[in-house]
Structure 1
């Protein structure tokens, strides 16, 4: 399935929007907005989907993973972001000392960068999921860092996935949904107190090869 909206329609199957809304405990209008791509579901809706047995990982990423898949063996990591559309502030073709064309198809796509700005432990990840489309698309490269991330702030925070607990999905409330490509790790909701003990990475810049 090409998009989040099409995958959502796929799991609805022959159910009407009213029936699907009743199953999840939301309004028909919300389901309509999700299907049309007007807004993305909140973390409560993702939890409801998970509790009903739907594959939230596939719905978010478009990828199905085998039971044998483990972090560290998956070639590339994807990313998610919080509800509410907001474009990254800067779309650059490249970052200093980064050549997108040099990216190998082998490995986990994690590379250390040497940049003039005062990022903490900067590195790159390559995007394989479409959940941030159209703001971020598959094969974009993200300059990330371990800079402090404060999810209590009003502005939308972008966070990135790694092998400790999987992709993050942050809400404006400061709650964080933890999903995982690893089938052995179940979806989990962390509150604003718990996430302070979780490693979260910040996206500083999007790097797109325009050629």
Structure 2
């Protein structure tokens, strides 16, 4: 699993050495951006067919798979590749009790790397960002996915009128089909109800707390 992450990181580096947009790089490989993202996130490793295409584009396959051989320089005029970081997962913690379990035996690592073409940051408004406290505070940042699949309880950026929208907890009504409920973490603020087609909602995948 860890090797997949390193291959994915080198593949991303090569992609940005060829083009400024991952969508264009995916096109040069005859694949969709979503498929490319599976390789760039380390979910799957390149097979022989993809390796041939990468080689034709000038990628050193030995370097891609092992890290040895010719290293690649970033495009001077282009955007730098995302500098991913790998963090160790120390254990599991239940939501209702303050104890950490199995931290000494859990051999797992988590790669904090998100595709900048499909994710973006938003800063919580310093003046009006109080409805989700203390879960999310004014000045915090949230990382938002353009294509993340929504499920009940997800934190979302919801756009429902001509304002900036709002950060809310997402759920779908079990009693009235097609109705979406947007709830604040602050229970003093009443929930909002919309028809599903009236809103656009984007999943928050990471909260970066203000320090």
Taking structure 1 as the reference length, what is the TM-score of the superposition?
0.31
Taking structure 2 as the reference length, what is the TM-score of the superposition?
0.31
Q: Which has the larger radius of gyration?
A: 2
